[in-house]
Amino acid sequence: MLAEVQEDQVKYHPDNYSKLSKEEKNLHEKAFTTNSNDPDYWKLEIGKDENGERLVVPEGDVLFQFRKDVEEKKLPLVSWLVAPEHFSDHPGSPWYGAWYISEVLNILTKDPETWKKTIFIINYDENDGYFDHVLPFAPPVNPSQPVDMNGKEGVEYVDKTQEYMSSPSLKSYEKVEGTVGLGYRVPMIIASPWTKGGFVNSEVSDHTSVLQFLEKFIMKKFKKDVHVENISDWRRAICGDLTSAFNSSSVKVPKMDYLNQKDYAKTINAAKNKPVPNLKWYSEDELKDSLLDIQERGLKPSNPLPYHFHVNLEGDHIKMTNLKDNGVPLLVYDRTQFDNNNYHFSYALYEKQTLSHTVQPGAYDYEVFGPNGFFRKFKGNKTAETEVILTNMTSKNQIELIIKNHKKKNFSISLKDLYTRSERTISVQKMEEKSLLTLINTKAGMICS
């Protein structure tokens, strides 16, 4: 650590700073704006909470410079607010983030002229290990969709020849070769005059989506190209630019009651004296359907998504077709190969692209995952005698279920609605092709066996 400090003293010496260009100096000064002009900067106020216990809070204003820039209308076109640790919602300090966000919104909405042209994006850098049932997508690396690792696609791949792998601080078990891809989901909220109404947006996005949005916004408004070179082609195709989150909703802005910092801090400090809740740990056998049904009830309005694609089992392959321009990430799991470590395949359906995944002969059991909770499961013993094809007919708000019987005998298919639990049996004659149409429901889920 001492060696690093000594190196920094040389590297960041004022003499070196004076050699920078005007643009570089400006970027440096803007990037490291702090609250040092606050007369109470770094001072602490020691008081008591509602239980009379010692309470320590910043005496100054942790948003001093931001507040000043907004009030004086000197806010740059793009600003990044990095919260101090105690206001960052990390597990070690999970209390004060709510006040921090509330106060930023309070500052931005105080002047209607400022707010009417503001987009406030609240983002997090990790999910802190909380359970997430949505699998993260990864770049395609499989025999069916070969990719040039060093090509323009920029598929994010880690191998042992890279400098990262030679780091002495890296443990041996951390030196894993493979694609980087997307991580587990983190929360993101967009507050603006164009995102009213509590809409949910389920387009696949990541942290580069914010940069892609800025690219598009600045190009549209100022005709300036600020293209970010280090976003790979795969990531640009798969991750949206956040424009799908904006709409022209006529929903009225709700009245917000902003949190008072000092009063809120007293309540938080007093929470440690509350009794520990009587939690029960359940064994796997105790986890019944009714116990797991704890998700908040009700529906939220959703933004339209730019996806339209089909995934069906046709003959001896799974056919994947993208009917639109936006890229579609897909994960294919072969459950019969879990013990052989050859069960996982990543695909990327680029603009208007069709790909196939070969089904192994004999018994098969495949699961396919896509964006917005998309799921298909294909399980059976033979692939040639029966085909079941599901087609989204979005223009008619319908789905079409096509059943093809290549057998020389009649058979029946059971169709079960996962939400209403209703079930019906469909008879299909030998060598017959039967088509069923149904209206698309907001809760679409069925099992065909």
Q: In what order do the strands lie in the sheet with 423-428?
A: 423-428, 411-417, 446-448
Kindly state the average pLDDT of the residues 342-366.
90
106-128 per-position pLDDT tens digit: 999 999 999 999 999 999 887 76
Q: What is the distance between the alpha carbons of residues 427 and 150, in angstroms, rounded to a whole number?
A: 53
- By 3-state DSSP, what share of the chain in percent is helix, strand and coil, each rounded to 5? 25, 25, 50
Check residue 352 and give its pLDDT.
Answer: 93
What does residue 23 show for φ and ψ, rounded to 5 degrees?
-65, -45
pLDDT band at 90 (very low <50, low <70, confident <90, very high): confident
Kindly state the average pLDDT of the residues 92-105.
85
10 token code pair: 């040389």
Check residue 70 and give its pLDDT.
Answer: 95
375 vs 424, residue with greater confidence: 375
pLDDT band at 129 (very low <50, low <70, confident <90, very high): low
Check residue 289 and give its pLDDT.
Answer: 60
Of 84-98, 136-150, 309-323, 346-360, which range is least confident?
136-150
248 vs 170, residue with greater confidence: 170
Burial classification of residue 357, based on how many CB atoms lie within 10 Å of its CB (0-12 exposed, 13-18 middle, 19 or more buried): buried
Pick the closest to residue 203 from 217, 219, 191, 185 (CA basis): 185
What is the pLDDT of the chain when averaged over all its residues?
84
pTM: 0.81
Give, rounded to a whole angstrom, the gap between the first and last alpha carbons of the chain. 63
